[in-house]
Amino acid sequence: MTIKIGIIGAGRIGRLHANTLTTRVPSAKLLAIADIFADAAKSAAADYGIPDYCADPAELLNSDDIDAIVICSSTDTHTRFIIEAARAGKQVFCEKPIAFDLAEIDAALAAVAEQGVQLQIGFNRRFDSNHSRLKRAIVDGEIGEAHTLTIISRDPSPPPLDYIKVSGGLMMDMMIHDFDMCRFLLGEVEEVYAIGDVKVDPAIGEAGDIDTAKVMLRFENGVIGTIENSRQAVYGYDQRVEVFGSKGAATTGNWHPNAVTISDARSVRRDLPLHFFIERYMDSYVAEMIAFVEAITTGGAVPVVGKDGRAPVLMAMAGMSSMRENRPVKLSEVETG
């Protein structure tokens, strides 16, 4: 069985998924790509051999030939396209975050449930082989009872200011992956305490955001967690996770372009880590799309459902409230408004 797919959004992530669907997922057939900037859609179609392109996403949503929609457009359009796709009977894959507003998210999830379609959220890091191994170490009890979780996530350089202004902020845009990783590894979080500042670029602060943050979390199961984010690590993409427990620790570090260590009279050294997320997480992007298509073709459940997209947004909102109010914030406070 072949699943016929359309992509909405021909930016960087849309092109990444287009490449994956046309080269790495045999049971998928990418029929069309849409973008409000027609030239972007045209370019992606030419680059990846996509039969059709358009500037109006409605053409994909209303097409009887398309079974599933992959949403890679700007965040402020996600819920609208999820709802429209669901009402058109399409299966849906949507990049994170679903939205910046819980009411909007709930409306989208309600539409998905009412129409009986599936929605997978694009938290690709769950599909990384290292993170999967960490999860197995926890579940199988290899490190005993988990006590603490530490996540370090630093980008090699900040995104453009125009992006910063519409991103929803560091916690909603960047740290949201780490919030999801917390839940994936250790379950639900009940309380967040966050501090943040502008350490990289004053223009980011002038745009109303931060570029450096530290967050402490208390999980419902008692585990204590910390997340550290920075918009700039001059040495490359810094991605590390450690879970420490009563019988040991499970740790994953940075990926490098090779495993060579150079030793001489001056130093012992190696090449810098992989530079950014596409290089570091390419295999996980492929794995998540394979999982989505497989679930649709077999009638199974997608592995990252709507509630998995909602919970990290709630955590980000709690973190932002914590920074404003300089106190720990329970997720239940944000939930109830």
DSSP letters, 79-148, are HHHHHHHHHTT-EEEEPSPS-S-HHHHHHHHHHHHHHT--EEE--GGGG-HHHHHHHHHHHTTTT-SEEE
pLDDT < 70: residue spans in the chain: none
Burial class (CB in 10 A: 0-12, 13-18, 19+), 325: exposed
Res 193: pLDDT: 98
CB-CB neighbours of 76 under 10 Å: 13
> Which pLDDT belongs to residue 144?
98
Pick the closest to residue 172 from 4, 334, 1 (CA basis).
334
> Where does residue 286 rank: exposed (0-12), middle (13-18), buried (19+ CB within 10 A)?
buried
State the Cα–Cα distance between residues 215 and 135, nearest whole angstrom: 21
pTM of the model: 0.96
Bridging pattern class, strands 248-252 and 238-245? antiparallel
Query: What pLDDT score does 172 carry?
Result: 97
CA angle 17, 5, 118 (to 5 degrees): 95
pLDDT of residue 238: 98
Q: Alpha-carbon distance 86 to 193, whole Å?
A: 36
Taken in order of first residue, the domains within the chain and their CATH numbers are 3-117 (3.40.50.720), 126-280+312-336 (3.30.360.10)
> Rounded to the nearest 5 degrees, what angle is found at the Cα of 320, between the Cα atoms of 314 and 321?
90
pLDDT for 336 equals 84
- Secondary structure class of 258 (helix, strand, coil): coil
Residues 236-291: tens digit of each pLDDT: 999 999 999 999 999 999 999 999 999 999 999 999 999 999 899 999 999 999 99
Quote the pLDDT of residue 23.
97
What is the arrangement of strands in the sheet containing 119-121, beginning at the earlier edge strand? 52-54, 28-34, 3-8, 68-71, 91-94, 119-121
Residues 98 and 313: their CA atoms lie apart, in Å, by: 8
Residue 293 is which amino acid? V
| pLDDT score of 160 | 95
Question: Residue 214: what pLDDT?
Answer: 98
In 3D space, the residue among 149, 150, 145 whose CA is nearest the CA of residue 247 turns out to be 145
pLDDT at 236: 94
